[in-house]
Homo-oligomer: A and B are copies of this chain.
Amino acid sequence: MKDNVKVGLLGLGTVGTGVVKMIQQHQEQLVHQVGCPVSIKKVLVKNPDKGRDVELDSHLLTTDPYDVINDPDIDVIVEVMGGINETRQYIIDALNAKKQVVTANKDLIALHGSELQKIAVENGCDLFYEASVAGGVPIIRGLTEGLASDKIQKMMGIVNGTTNYILTKMSKEGLAYDDVLKEAQELGFAEADPTSDVEGLDAARKMAILARLAFSMDIELDDVAVSGISSVTQEDLKYGATLGYTMKLIGYAEQENNRAEVSVQPTFLESSHPLSSVNDEYNAVYVYGEAVGETMFYGPGAGSLPTATSIVSDVLAVVKNMRLGVNGRNVLAPQYNRQLKEPNERFAKYFIRLHVRDEIGAFAELTKLFSNYSISFEKILQLPLEEEGLAEIVIVTHKASMDNYQSVLSEINDLDVVRAVRSFYRVEGEGTK
Using a CB–CB cutoff of 8 Å, the interface residues on chain A facing chain B are 18, 22, 26, 29-30, 32-33, 130, 136-138, 141-142, 145-151, 216, 274, 277, 282, 289, 291-300, 303, 305-306, 308-310, 312-313, 315-317, 320, 324, 326, 329-330, 332, 335
Contacts and interface: CB of A to CB of B under 8 A. Distances in A.
A236 to B, nearest CB: 24
A293 B299 contact: yes
Contacts of A142: 138, 141-142, 146
Given A141-B146, A291-B308, A324-B330, 13 more contacts: A29-B149, A136-B295, A138-B142, A141-B142, A141-B145, A142-B146, A148-B317, A291-B305, A292-B309, A293-B299, A295-B297, A296-B296, A320-B330
Contact of A146 (B291, B313, B335): B313
B308 A303 contact: no
A298 B297 contact: yes
Nearest to A279: B272
A57 to B, nearest CB: 23
Copies in the complex: 2
A28 to B, nearest CB: 8
Q: In the complex, which of the residues A18, A32, A298, A330 has the most CB atoms of chain B within 10 Å of its own CB atom?
A: A298
A148 B313 CA distance: 6
B277 A293 contact: no
- Counting from the closest, the 7 A-B pairs by CB-CB distance are A138-B146, A295-B299, A149-B312, A296-B298, A136-B292, A291-B305, A292-B309
A303 B293 CA distance: 10
